[in-house]
Amino acid sequence: MPRSSRVPIVQVDAFTAVPFGGNPAAVCVTDAPLEESWMKSVAMEMNLSETAFLHPQDDGFALRWFTPAIEVALCGHATLASAHVLWQDGHLPVGKQARFYTKSGLLTADLVADSDGWIELDFPAKKSEPADAPPQLLEALGIDAVYVGRNQFDYLVEVQSEEQLRAITPDHTQLRKLPVRGVIVTSRSDAYDFVSRFFAPGSGIDEDPVTGSAHTALTPYWAAKLGKTEMRAFQASKRGGQLRVRLDGDRVKMAGQAVTVLRGELLV
């Protein structure tokens, strides 16, 4: 990249309509692909759970996501943030579907009509299968589990109550040793259909504020347990975030809001 380059960067809080809530993501939209080493350096510098990089491709945009430590194959909140930036900054006409080419295939985002800015993402469902819990998993969480499952990315653990879920203070050193991206912990809720938390110290994030990709596993799991395909969800991190999720065959439709909190330029 030329030394004189200036790359715009936008920070967006996703899965919230309130600044400083939800999950922050940085978004860089450029005309052409960027060097992977540079993207990794930027993600480390931003030190957010994810930084998204986009450039035009075919009838949409190539999209890659990086944590401060690694590149990830699927990220919901940074995809939501990316769609928000594309429409807000005029890279894409408002109302036109955002199409993203990613390591998880084609993902799309649409503005929900008459919905106060809600954006619906279309992601592949990532169902979990029952699994034996490795000894350090439940020990690190300090809980007894109602259910333990696993998919290609994460462990999924159901606990007895929302109170128990909110009280978890995990041993991140132990969780970091697990051979997965992260650990989803979930329970029923009085105010929502279900609540969750997501821990991913092995991916460079001790606790993620709101995790869209985790809901690709949570949605089919709770749809089967509750006998319904449309649900309201809350991720009970310190920042917190709300989602509307819908199971549609082997796809998960998840909707959230987003708000821009910061604009700047990367000086290269």
**Of the residues 35, 45, 50, 71, which is catalytic?**
50
User: From the CB of residue 261, how many other CB atoms can be counted at a distance below 10 Å?
Assistant: 13
Contact call for residues 155 and 131 (beta carbons, < 8 A): yes
Contact call for residues 119 and 109 (beta carbons, < 8 A): yes
Q: What long-range pairs does 127-133 form, CB within 8 A, spacing at least 24?
A: 127/151, 127/217, 127/220, 127/221, 128/154, 128/156, 128/217, 128/221, 131/155, 133/157
Per-residue b or e along 83-95, where b marks 16 or more CB atoms closer than 10 Å to that residue's CB? bbbbbbeeebeee
Is 50 assigned a catalytic role? Answer: yes
What is the C-alpha to C-alpha distance for residues 27 and 154, in angstroms, rounded to an integer?
A: 25
Q: Sign of torsion, CA 136 140 143 149?
A: negative
Residues with catalytic roles: 50
